[in-house]
A = this chain, B = another copy of it.
Amino acid sequence: MRDVAVIGTGMTKWGELWDKSLRTIFTETALLALNDAGVDKIDSMYIGSMSSGLFVGQEHIASLLSDYLGLTPIPATRVETACASGGVAFRLGFLEVATGISDIVLAGGVEKMTDVSGYEATYALGTAADQEYEGYHGLTFPGLYALIARAHMEKYGTTREQLAMVASKNHKNGAKNPLAQFPFAVSVEDVLNSVMVADPLRILDCSPITDGAAAVILCSVEMARKLGKQVVKVIGTGQATDNIALSSRKDITWLEATYQAGKAAYEMAGKKPEDIDVLEVHDCFTIAEICVMEALGIVEKGMGGKAVEEGLTAMEGKIPVNPSGGLKSKGHPVGATGVAQIIEITKQLRGEAGERQVKDASVGMTQNMGGSGGSTVCHIFEKE
């Protein structure tokens, strides 16, 4: 396998983009990535999208977007693993370059979620859970993560305040990200006083409904050097699945797919949790970030809440987590999220993260998760 580098990134402002269709949002982003990479031709494209069918009534977006980018006849493939779709699109782009089947690949993600009624958006997102054993009985994602939160509080003494601290930390970071949907600070009190969604989770514990896209360009490290690009090397990839329904898991506070995907990525990269300088994780709900820290081995089992309280994951902490603002502040257009995480790590390793730059970051990691943890994909990156 060849060494692979990320040489271009593209992302536009996320939010409620009512003046733009899915095809417009994605093509703008893809063109930015091509421009950043300094290339105008690619060999292949992978696009993560969770449910363009349910959200905007359009499947077959691989053909649509290749067409609207003027890139036909290149192969283009849409990938779906719920909210981990973007990360998996990147993994497939990586594989294609690593094998030598393609030299330059675009990996992107897109979701347009705000043009459906509230009922439909929650329904569409709910199709990432086990419909027969969860959805049909009325469970949606805030409810599923509320069950996880309650179990974590019960088992490990995690506090309501610690959950709020995750949101507050991520919004503090996101306030420095001009592309974030909600680029402003929220205090722990704001979170504690916000409206209840699914006890114990309040609205400021939840990531928002977002329109947005993200795209990166991948090529071999050799080609990146020839093109005179700063090399951000992909040194590890891992993907895994777990029981889709919470009721089938031995311990609902433990994210086994995240543990397995992290393990595979660490092993491939030859790195350990303590080698990671900056980390982007899937904080779809505040409790998720706490559980992910534990499953990735950043902290011990049950210690995720305490770690946030002690500032371990703050910008000035030992391992800054979600400098981009995370899903919480940056927004969560589900299919695009995994790619945006990779963009943030690329910018951090390139030293281009501006006001939210993590000092001396040379190794970064991403963790992107589908459903209530039924699938996860992790990547590790190193600057040359």
- Please, what's the 1-or-0 string for A98-114, where 1 marks a CB less than 8 Å from any CB in chain B? 11110000000000000
For residue A283, give the distance in angstroms from its CB to the closest CB of chain B: 19
| Residue in chain B with minimal CB distance to A58 | B131
Interface pair A127/B58, CB less than 8 Å apart: yes
A80: CB under 8 A from chain B? yes
Which residues on B sit within 8 Å (CB–CB) of A377? 75
Number of copies: 2
For residue A279, give the distance in angstroms from its CB to the closest CB of chain B: 21
The bracket for how many chain A residues form the interface is 35 or more
For residue A230, give the distance in angstroms from its CB to the closest CB of chain B: 26
Q: Which of A66-74, A167-175, A215-223 contacts B (4 or more CB under 8 A)?
A: A66-74
A234: CB under 8 A from chain B? no
Which residues on B sit within 8 Å (CB–CB) of A370? 60, 63
Knowing A73-B257, A79-B79, A92-B92, say if A59 contacts B240 (CB, 8 Å): no
Within 8 A of B (CB), among A119-145: 123-124, 127-132, 135
Question: What separation, in Å, do the CA atoms of A242 and B374 have in the docked complex?
Answer: 34
Interface pair B64/A374, CB less than 8 Å apart: yes
Interface pair A82/B96, CB less than 8 Å apart: no
For residue A96, give the distance in angstroms from its CB to the closest CB of chain B: 7
A78: CB under 8 A from chain B? yes
A77: CB under 8 A from chain B? yes
Q: Which of A31-39, A47-55, A269-277, A317-325 contacts B (4 or more CB under 8 A)?
A: A47-55
Question: What separation, in Å, do the CA atoms of A249 and B248 have in the docked complex?
Answer: 50
A62: CB under 8 A from chain B? yes
Question: What separation, in Å, do the CA atoms of A62 and B377 have in the docked complex?
Answer: 13
Interface pair A242/B99, CB less than 8 Å apart: no
| Residue in chain B with minimal CB distance to A136 | B57
A95: CB under 8 A from chain B? yes
A292: CB under 8 A from chain B? no
For residue A155, give the distance in angstroms from its CB to the closest CB of chain B: 22
- Please, what's the 1-or-0 string for A360-384, where 1 marks a CB less than 8 Å from any CB in chain B? 0000000000110011010000000
Interface pair A63/B127, CB less than 8 Å apart: no
For residue A278, give the distance in angstroms from its CB to the closest CB of chain B: 25
Interface pair B60/A128, CB less than 8 Å apart: yes
A81: CB under 8 A from chain B? yes
A59-B128, A63-B81 provided; 17 other pairs, C-beta below 8 A?
A: A1-B99, A53-B124, A57-B135, A60-B127, A60-B244, A63-B241, A63-B370, A63-B374, A66-B241, A72-B241, A72-B243, A72-B257, A73-B242, A74-B241, A77-B88, A78-B79, A78-B80
Q: 5 smallest A-B Cβ distances: which pairs?
A: A63-B374, A75-B239, A60-B82, A73-B240, A73-B260
A-B contact pairs, 12 of them (CB 8 A): A50-B60, A57-B127, A60-B244, A63-B81, A63-B257, A64-B244, A67-B243, A72-B256, A73-B257, A75-B239, A75-B240, A75-B377
